[in-house]
Structure 1
Amino acid sequence: MPKPVLMRQMPQIAHVDVNCFYASAERAFDPSLEGRPLIVLSNNDGCAVTRSPEAKALGIRTGDPWFKLAPRAKEWGLVARSSNYELYGDISARVMELLGRHSAWLEVYSIDEAFLGVKGRPEELLALGRTMKAEVRRNVGVPVCVGIAPTKTLAKLCNKWAKNNASFGGVCHWEAVPAPVKESLLERLPVDEVWGIAGRLTRRLNALGIFTVLDLVRADPVVIRDKFSVVVMRTVLELRGIPCIPMEEERLGRDQLIFSRSFSTPVTTVDGMRQVLSIYGQQASARLAKHGLQAKVLTAFAATSPFRQHEQAYPSVCLSLPMPTADPLLLTKATHALLPHIRNGLKYAKAGLMLTDLRPTGNQSPLEPFENRHEERGIGPLLEDVSRRFGHGSIGLGHGGIKGGVDWSMKRGMQSPRYTTHWDELPLVKAA
């Protein structure tokens, strides 16, 4: 009797995305926001960066300035919240940890989305998607949608369908969708809905008669490669179900780290900028230490407002550090190289640091004459530990530790409590 042939289950990719992440994180701890139009504002309460479905229904667009929306907020019942990055970061970590229980192959793609490697029959994968959706909602309190397909590009497309088509119930598996329905959905979607297709590339594709996702699927990959690039050809192949973009289990090997903020009140003096750069240098050090990285090149920059036509300045300096480092003393001292280029009296609206040539900590030990005694003493980890226990601003080095008078920090007049990371801001529950 011949042995039964076992069909090999090909790996699939699940794309999980939190719906309207910032707004959903706000609602997780404030049920009174459910069903109400809600927006989360950018730095300094500038403009809308996240809109709830109710806010979108009012015609509010991403990037609409708050000062234009505020006069009609009461009339619309519109609620605005300042960005609360600590809360969002913690909610994100909880979501990712929960998703990681369902796959040993997890790629955190951004603060609100992740790819997972999964295997199973179509009905099993649909059940898995529904399980992940239900568990994140129940345990973290935020809604997600799930797209499952043979490739990353298709998985993101399935997620989009799941989010915008109620018939999917928030979970869409490519292989469970009938062929005629697939074709209809692809034909209705404009080509710029595809991951990685936007802007000028869309216009160039339109010029070739490629207006919908279905048009792109039917395009000749070789012609696309010759007229555009290998990257766009890979997108076409991915849309045909041929995996071309691999999973990355770790995305910390980044090329650069940028730490930049706009000021709520302009900085007009060299001394003021010295304090800004000192604080940024130490915060950038903490960010490097958190990811186990060191930097070899530091760029510091500042800028006046682009709307002040008669007094614009964009000074910057780029330094090669003596050795790869995450030490707050060395980084802070390096940032001060920008100070000779700062002019007293000019109204600087922004400053920042860019760290490049990043390397894993301890990847290469320096020769003894070049060892950094500050890193040997663990000053950076000590500062981070104190800040974590007693809050940001509780300790600092030099001008970065000056208390009082810091009126340039970001304006967040409508920020909700940091419910999950600060004891004195924990939510209170009262029994009836």
Structure 2
Amino acid sequence: MYGDLSARVMEVVGRFGTWQEVYSIDESFAGLVGDPAQLQAAGRDIRAAVMRHVGVPVCVGVAGTKTLAKFANRIAKQNPALGGVCALASMPAGHIEGVQQRVPASGLWGVGGKTASKLKMMGIESIADLKAADPALIRKKFSVVLQRTVLELNGTECIPHTEERVDKQQIMFSRSFSTPVTTVEGMEQVMAIYAQRGAARLAEEGLMATSMTVTAGTSRFAAGEGSFPAATIRFTTPTQDPIAMVRAAVAAIRQSTVPGAAYLRAGVMFNGLEPAAASGMLDVFGTENSQPDVGGVLGEVRSKFGSTAIGIGIGGLAEAPQWSMKREHSSPRYTTEWSELPVVRA
């Protein structure tokens, strides 16, 4: 539900910008034009449109650079009197400077705790201090990334927007376990299930993969030596065949799993993606793509009878394994599942 609402919010925000960059599941940059009054009005329109069409409250920060826009968004969140919208160009310069003097450098986008500690040793404690710092010195002592932050604080745009790539480079299926998996057999089961689900995603999006990487890991904070097996399998021809992927994933994890280690997470990642229609090479040697369209059949069955209706080998379980992520407290899928629509009675 969170992902669906996020997509709806981003679509509404995108209507107002000359360009849009979805930065994360709950953050987006958009290009706006106009004078200070128009920018302030645009911010209010965005917030009102998202609330009207999606029903989600958002805060909007408007400024000349991404760093300053994030700073403006922070002001909007922490000052209820602004109504969720802060356009720096509409605020008195003295007020902005006062806020920058009070907020520590660690409160700035891109400045972590360790960096803030090092800055403090140089006498740079607040955002205002960082803004007044010498960009060349900051680059020498830290990095070009922090130098760009200083320049952006002073109104020089240094972080251009990134156009979203339409062609995917990889697909990943990764989860943490509710209880540790400590046996080789258990990890084989994990990989059988994850490889099938990853193959299903490839089929849904009409893609084939040229390679697959399997990973697993114990807790980095557990006592003793950790175990983080990883292996990459390259297919002789691009494929989305779940049988080939399950076999490869199970074989790879079997060789690298340490019996007795308490694995808390695992994943499969498919790389070298290309459209299935482009993978028209004739497979005369009986390799991965020589299998019938098992993935298509599995997909049709699951779409009619549910995701657990059918599976391959040890991954074809009607009931979720004990190690599966617990979902008793998941949010109802109000926006995407008819059976979970809320019922209102008057």
Q: What TM-score, normalized by structure 1, do the two folds share?
A: 0.70
Query: Equivalent of 2:158, from 244, 248, 251?
Result: 244
Q: Which residue of 2 aligns with 1:155?
A: 69
Question: What's 2:187 paired with?
Answer: 273
Q: Specify which of 102, 127, 148 is matched with residue 213 of structure 1.
A: 127
Query: In the alignment, which of 229, 232, 242 is matched to residue 328 of structure 1?
Result: 242
Query: Displacement of 1:114 after TM fit?
Result: 0.8
2:31 is paired with a residue whose SS is strand
The residue aligned with 2:36 is: 122
Q: Give 1:299's match in structure 2, choosing from 202, 207, 213.
A: 213
* Structure 2 unaligned regions, length at least 5: none
Is 1:398 matched up with 2:313?
Answer: yes
How far residue 194 of structure 1 moved from its aligned partner, in angstroms, is: 1.6
Q: 2:45 aligns with which of 107, 126, 131?
A: 131
Which residue identity is paired with 1:428? V
In the other structure, the counterpart of 1:88 is 2
Q: How far apart are the structure 2 equivalents of 1:222 and 1:312?
A: 41
Q: State the match for 1:417 in structure 2.
A: 332
> Is the Cα–Cα contact under 8 Å of residues 311 and 346 in structure 1 kept in the other structure?
no
Question: 1:104 offset after TM fit, Å?
Answer: 4.8
- Whether the aligned pair in 2 keeps the contact of 1:327 and 1:375 (CA below 8 Å) is no
Cα distance change of structure 1 residues 211 and 322 upon mapping to structure 2, 3 Å threshold: farther
One of 93, 97, 102 as aligned partner of 2:11? 97
Contact 2:237 2:289 (8 Å CA) reproduced? no
Structure 1 match to 2:265 = 350
Work out the CA distance in 1 between the residues paired with 2:296 and 2:116: 47
Which has the larger displacement, 375-384 or 264-273? 375-384
The number of residues matched between the two structures is 344
1:222 to 136, 141, 148: 136
Shift of 1:310: 6.1
**Larger deviation, residues 219-228 vs 337-346:** 337-346
Distance in 2 between residues matched to 1:114 and 1:370, nearest whole Å: 48
Q: What is the aligned partner in structure 1 of residue 174 from structure 2?
A: 260
Q: CA deviation at 1:298?
A: 2.9
Cα drift, residue 312 of structure 1 = 5.2
**TM-aligned CA distance change 1:289 to 1:115, over 3 Å:** farther
In structure 2, C-alpha distance between the alignment counterparts of 1:408 and 1:315, rounded to whole Å: 18
User: What's the CA shift for 1:260?
Assistant: 2.6
Change in Cα spacing, 1:335 to 1:146, as seen in structure 2 (3 Å) is: same
* Correspondent of 1:186 among 100, 107, 123: 100
The CA deviation at 1:142 is 1.5
Q: 2:113 aligns with which of 176, 190, 199?
A: 199
Give distance in 2, aligned partners of 1:320 and 1:353.
Answer: 13
| Cα separation, 2, equivalents of 1:338 and 1:240 | 51
Q: CA deviation at 1:380?
A: 4.4
Structure 1: distance between partners of 2:130 and 2:221 = 41
**CA RMSD of the aligned region, Å?**
3.1
Instruction: Point out the more displaced range, 371-380 or 190-199.
Output: 371-380
> Does the CA-based 8 Å contact 2:218-2:263 persist in structure 1?
yes
Residue 212 to residue 384, structure 1, CA distance change in 2 (3 Å) = farther
Shift of 1:177: 1.3
Question: Matched residue of 1:282: which SS?
Answer: helix
Q: Distance in 1 between matches of 2:159 and 2:203?
A: 29
Structure 1 residues 312 and 253: CA distance shift in structure 2, 3 A:
same
Pairing partner for 1:167 from 77, 81, 85: 81
Alpha-carbon spacing, 1:138–1:278, altered in 2? closer, same or farther (3 Å): same
Please say if 1:110 is aligned against 2:27. no
SS in 2 for 1:235: helix
Question: Secondary structure of the equivalent of 1:115?
Answer: strand
Structure 2 counterpart of 1:153, one-letter code:
T
Change (3 A) 1:381 1:141: farther
Q: Conserved in 2, the CA contact under 8 Å of 1:89 and 1:111?
A: yes
Q: Secondary structure at the match of 2:74?
A: helix
Q: Secondary structure at the match of 2:175?
A: strand
Distance change (3 Å), C-alpha of 1:351 and 1:152: same
| CA distance in 1 between partners of 2:203 and 2:88 (Å) | 41
* Equivalent residue letter for 1:406: P
Evaluate the alpha carbon distance shift between residue 307 and residue 226 of structure 1 in structure 2; reply closer, same or farther with a 3 A threshold. Answer: closer
Displacement after TM superposition at 1:133 (Å): 0.9
Retained in 1: the 8 A contact 2:235–2:288? no
Q: How many Å separate the matches in 2 of 1:426 and 1:211? A: 50
Deviation, structure 1 residue 100: 2.2
8 Å Cα contact 1:187-1:215 kept in structure 2: yes
Query: Structure 1 residues 353, 423: closer, same or farther in 2, change over 3 A?
Result: same
Does residue 361 (structure 1) correspond to residue 265 (structure 2)? The answer is no
